[in-house]
Amino acid sequence: MNIKLEEFSRENIKQLISWVPDEKLLMQFAGPAYVYPLTEEQLLEDIRKMKETGEILMFKAIYEETNLIIGHIQLLRIDKINKIATLGRVLIGEEAARGKGLGTIVVKKALNYAFNNMNLDVIRLNVFDFNNRAIKCYKMMGFKIVKTTENCVTVNGTGWSGYTMEISKEEFYGKTK
């Protein structure tokens, strides 16, 4: 499957919002960074940060055969001095497209971009411990759990725990060669 990443723009906002119908999915997708309901204003603020500071990159994932946008992914907290960033806000938007390995392809493309185009050395991410499909995807890429945080957020009265995972450029290319 050929998937490409292109810069997320104002024109993509309504579609991304439509993929996030409830508070639980928004928290799973973005952590506490966005407030439910996801709004155009919140996404425009991130687009502004992307343009002005370069500390965040937002991508749409496009299925090349049909030119259909199938997902979203971001690089956050980009630190060019220490050559580290956080991978986040990973979402295969269309429910029918989930569970088909597309997330793995999107993550791999984002890691290639971060390590090759941005010359970063380490990528971190945070994932909730119940998100087994995402954890499996990240482990296949070579990410390792480096920290566990109990009850890091509360959703509908329930505490969610999570993992911090990371991968180095060397680990990634050793895994994908």
Neighbours of 61 (CB within 10 A): 27
- Structure confidence by residue, pLDDT tens digits, 52-71: 999 999 999 999 999 999 99
Residue pointed to by tokens 């965040």: 56
Q: What's the confidence (pLDDT) of residue 175? A: 72
Residue 94: predicted pLDDT: 81
pLDDT at 176: 63
CB burial class (10 A; 0-12, 13-18, 19+) of residue 175? middle
pLDDT at 83: 98
Which CATH number is associated with domain 3-176? 3.40.630.30
Residue with tokens 């603020």: 45
Q: Are strands 57-63 and 3-7 parallel, antiparallel or unpaired?
A: antiparallel
Amino acid 65 reads E
What contacts 154, CB < 8 A, 6 or more positions away?
160
Is the four-CA dihedral 19, 24, 29, 32 of positive or negative sign?
positive
Which pLDDT belongs to residue 134? 95
pLDDT averaged over 10-residue windows placed end to end, the chain, 177 residues: 95 98 95 96 97 96 94 97 97 89 96 98 98 95 97 94 98 81
CB 24 within 8 A of CB 155: yes
Q: pTM for the complete prediction?
A: 0.96
